[in-house]
């Protein structure tokens, strides 16, 4: 793993809060509670982020899944 990479493991029970930053034309996504990781996304980048997430979900749906586990 690269030393300058930040990884955030998003699970089904991880709280995610969305805060529109209308004054900055951005959306803030907060992952977690006490010390949240924050992702700030420009309005123009939202469709690209959404498309990437949908593509990732479609790829997982098309894959056989983990060996011996369930999805």
47 to 12, 19, 23, 36, 54: CA distances (angstroms):
22, 17, 19, 23, 10
Q: Would you call 32 exposed, middle or buried from its count of C-beta atoms within 10 A (0-12, 13-18, 19+)?
A: middle
- Which pLDDT tens digit goes with each residue over 16-70? 999 999 999 999 999 999 899 999 999 999 999 999 999 999 999 999 877 655 5
Mean pLDDT over 6-19 rounds to 94
0.85 surpassed by pTM: no
What is the arrangement of strands in the sheet containing 26-31, beginning at the earlier edge strand? 16-21, 26-31, 37-42
DSSP 3-state assignment of 59? helix
């Amino acid at each position: 793993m690269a030393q300058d990479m930040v990884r955030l493991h998003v699970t089904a029970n991880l709280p995610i809060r969305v805060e529109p930053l209308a004054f900055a034309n951005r959306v803030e996504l907060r992952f977690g509670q006490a010390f949240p990781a924050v992702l700030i996304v420009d309005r123009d980048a939202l469709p690209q982020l959404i498309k990437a997430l949908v593509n990732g979900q479609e790829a997982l749906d098309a894959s056989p899944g983990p060996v011996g586990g369930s999805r």
